[in-house]
Amino acid sequence: MWASTRVSRTIGVAYPILQGPFGGRHSTAALAAAVSNAGGLGGFGAVGLEPEDIEQVVADIRERTRNAFAVNLWVPIAGQDDAEVPAQAAERAVARLRPFLTEYGIATPSLPATGPPFHQQIEALLRASPPVFSFVMGVPERAIVDEIRRRGAKSIGTATTVDEAVALQAAGVDIIVASGSDAGGHRGSFLTSVDRSLVGTMSLVPQIVDAVDVPIVAAGGIVDGRGIAAALALGAEGVQIGTAFLATSESGAPAAHKSLLGTPRARTTRITRAFTGRHARGVENTLMLALEEHPDDIVSYPAQSDLTLPLRRAAARAGRAEHLALWAGQAAALARPIGAADLVSALVNETTSVLERAGRHRAHDHTRPGETRAITGVIQLYFDGLYEGDTEKLARAFHSTARLYSLNDGAVQEVTRDAWLAAVAGRPAPKASGLARTDRIVSIEVTDDALATATAECSIHPRYFVDHLAFLKIPEHGWQIVAKAFRTEVMPAV
Ligand SMILES: Cc1cc2nc3c(=O)[nH]c(=O)nc-3n(C[C@H](O)[C@H](O)[C@H](O)COP(=O)(O)O)c2cc1C
C-alpha cells in the first residue's frame, strides 16, 4: 500500500497526507482534528498566537482527536522580524492604503508593539507538547529539536531549496517538507532571498530527496490524487496540502476567500509582498495590484501585515474578495468545497486508483511508488571496490552462485559467478540482470559460508528498481544509500 512510508510510520498516521498549517487565523481546531480523525495529519498554524492561546489550541485539538496532529511556528529571521520600520515609511504605506481604508471607514491603523516572541511560543508549545512540531522560515535550534525528541514527539522543518533541506537535516529534524514555489501562502526561504529560492515542486522534490536522508514531504500545487501520485513518484514519502484544505468547510478562511477557490478565477496567482511585507502566493486581486504599483511603499514584515490587517478584516466581514489576502497555491482552481474528512478519503481513493492505473503500464515493476523497498539480492558493490579490505568475503562472494529473491514478490533468480563477472565487465549492469547496483552499503556480514547478509540504508525510489531485481541507477556520488535492508544469500561454489 502506497500509504506506508517512513513519513506515515514516523508520525503514526494511516496516510502520509499532511494538512498544511495555516497562519493568519485560517487554521481551526475543527479542521486539524477532522483531518487527523480521517487518517491524515491535521495541522494548526500558531504564528502570531500568544503563549496561552497556543496551549489552548493544543488542548482544543486534543479534545477532538486522539490521533497525531501538528502545530506550526515560524522561526524568526534575525534582522527581519525585529527590524525597525521608520515612521515615514509606515506613513507612506498607510497612504497607499488610504483609499481602501476610507471606503470601509477605518481610521489610520497603527503599528502594534512587537508580537509574541518565538522563545515564549516554543516554551508554551513544549509545555502543551503536541505529537508533532512543525517549523517554517528557519532552522529550529538543535536544543529545541532534541527537547521535542526527548518528549517523544516528532519535528518537521520546511525547506524551499536543497541547501535549506541540508541545514534542517543537520539540525536533526525528523521530516522535511519540500515547499515548491507553486505553494500557497508565505515562502519559507531563509538562507537566501526568496527570488533566488523559487523552485517549483516538480523540480525541488527530487533534488531534495537526493540530497538528504530524512523522509521528504512534497508541498505546493497538490490538490488531488494525481498530485499525490506524482509526488510519490518523485521520491517524496508524503504530501503537505494547503489550498485544497483551505477550501473545506472546516477551514477558517473567510467565506469570500473560500468561495473563490476551485473557480477559474483562482488560476491566476502571484507571489506578492503587498499584504504582509513578506513574499507569499495568493490569487491576484484589486488590493494586491494596487499596492504592488508602488513596491517601495510596502514596509517589511510584520509591519505591513499589521497595517493591512484592519482592512483585510473589514473586507472579510463585508464578503469582498478584492480586498482580502487570497492565499492560494497554483493548483487552487482544482480545489473542492467539501468537508475535510471527505477530502482525505477522496485523496486516498484517487491516489490508489491513479497508481493502479499507472501500474497496469508497468507489467514488470513490482514496486509501489512512495515506498522504499527492502530488496533481497546481489548488490553490485562487489564490483565497485567497496569490498576493499574485505578480501576474504569478496573472494567468497566471487566463488559463489547467488540466489536472489525479491522481498517484493518472492521471485527467485539464481545468478552464477560467470554472470556476475559478465556484469562486471559490461558495467553498468544490464537492465533486469538481477543485479542491484549501488554505490555504498552500510555493512555486509557473512554469517556462515552459506549466507551473507548485507544491510544497506537505501533512499532510492522504487521506480529505479526496473524489474524485481533490476539494477539501481546511481550516478557517481549521486544517489545515497541510506537505510534499508538488502539481504544477499550466497550459496557455496558448485
Ligand atoms: C492561507 C495559508 C496560510 C499558510 N500558513 C502557513 C504557516 O503559518 N506555516 C507553514 O508552515 N505553512 C503555511 N502555509 C503553507 C501550507 O502549510 C502548505 O505547505 C502549502 O499551502 C502547500 O501548497 P498548496 O497551497 O499549493 O497546497 C500556508 C498556506 C496557506 C494557503
**pLDDT tens-digit series, residues 229-250:** 999 999 999 999 999 999 999 9
Distance 138 CA to ligand 1 centre (A): 15
250 CB near ligand 1 (under 6 Å)? no
The C-alpha angle with vertex 26 and arms to 23 and 31, in degrees rounded to 5, equals: 115
Residues 387 and 321 in one domain: no
Structural domains counted in the chain: 2
Higher pLDDT, 398 or 209: 209
Q: How many CB atoms lie within 10 A of CB 270?
A: 14
Q: Which of 22, 81, 344 to mutate to test the pocket of ligand 1 (most atoms within 8 A of CB)?
A: 22
- Final residue of a structural domain among 354, 389, 421: 354
Distance 186 CA to ligand 1 centre (A): 7
Residues 176 and 289 in one domain: yes
Query: Residues 14-37: pLDDT tens digits?
Result: 999 999 999 989 999 999 999 999
Residues 71 and 23 in one domain: yes
Q: CA dihedral defined by 190, 192, 198, 202, rounded to 10 degrees?
A: -70
Distance 370 CA to ligand 1 centre (A): 23
Burial 391-405 (b: 16+ CB within 10 A, else e): eebbebbbebbbbbb
Q: Given this model, what pLDDT does residue 263 score?
A: 93
* CA-closest candidate to residue 72, choices 5, 140, 171, 163: 140
Residues 348 and 199 in one domain: yes
Give, rounded to a whole angstrom, the gap between the first and last alpha carbons of the chain. Answer: 40
Ligand 1 atom at minimum distance from 223 CA = 27
Residues 319 and 388 in one domain: no
26 CB near ligand 1 (under 6 Å)? yes
Average pLDDT over residues 25-51: 97
**pLDDT over 60 (residue 329):** yes
pTM of this structure:
0.76
Determine, yes or no, domain membership for 383. yes
Contact 31, 61 (CB under 8 A): no
Q: Given this model, what pLDDT does residue 474 score?
A: 28
Contact 301, 241 (CB under 8 A): no
Residues of the chain with pLDDT > 70, as a percent, come to 72
334 CB near ligand 1 (under 6 Å)? no
Determine, yes or no, domain membership for 452. yes
* CA-closest candidate to residue 462, choices 424, 418, 399, 409: 409
Q: Given this model, what pLDDT does residue 371 score?
A: 38
Query: Residues 63-81: pLDDT tens digits?
Result: 999 999 999 999 998 777 6
| C-alpha radius of gyration, the chain, whole number | 26
**pLDDT over 80 (residue 485):** no
Which residues span the domain enclosing 131? Answer: 6-354
Determine, yes or no, domain membership for 94. yes
Q: Given this model, what pLDDT does residue 265 score?
A: 96
Residues 130 and 204 in one domain: yes
Determine, yes or no, domain membership for 208. yes
Determine, yes or no, domain membership for 372. no
Average pLDDT over residues 474-487: 26
Residues 425 and 296 in one domain: no
Determine, yes or no, domain membership for 247. yes
Residues 405 and 474 in one domain: yes
Q: Given this model, what pLDDT does residue 360 score?
A: 57
Residues 170 and 211 in one domain: yes
> From CA 287, how far away is CA 274, in angstroms rounded?
8
Determine, yes or no, domain membership for 371. no
72 CB near ligand 1 (under 6 Å)? yes
Count H helices and E strands in the chain, helices first: 16, 20
**pLDDT over 70 (residue 201):** yes
**pLDDT over 50 (residue 366):** no
> From CA 147, how far away is CA 126, in angstroms rounded?
8
179 CB near ligand 1 (under 6 Å)? yes
**pLDDT over 90 (residue 43):** yes
Residues 344 and 472 in one domain: no
Q: Given this model, what pLDDT does residue 357 score?
A: 76
Residues 333 and 421 in one domain: no
Determine, yes or no, domain membership for 493. no
List the CATH number of the domain containing 185.
Answer: 3.20.20.70
Residues 228 and 129 in one domain: yes
**pLDDT over 90 (residue 400):** no
Average pLDDT over residues 253-276: 96
Q: Given this model, what pLDDT does residue 421 score?
A: 47
Residues of the chain with pLDDT > 90, as a percent, come to 66
Q: Given this model, what pLDDT does residue 397 score?
A: 42
Q: Given this model, what pLDDT does residue 419 score?
A: 53
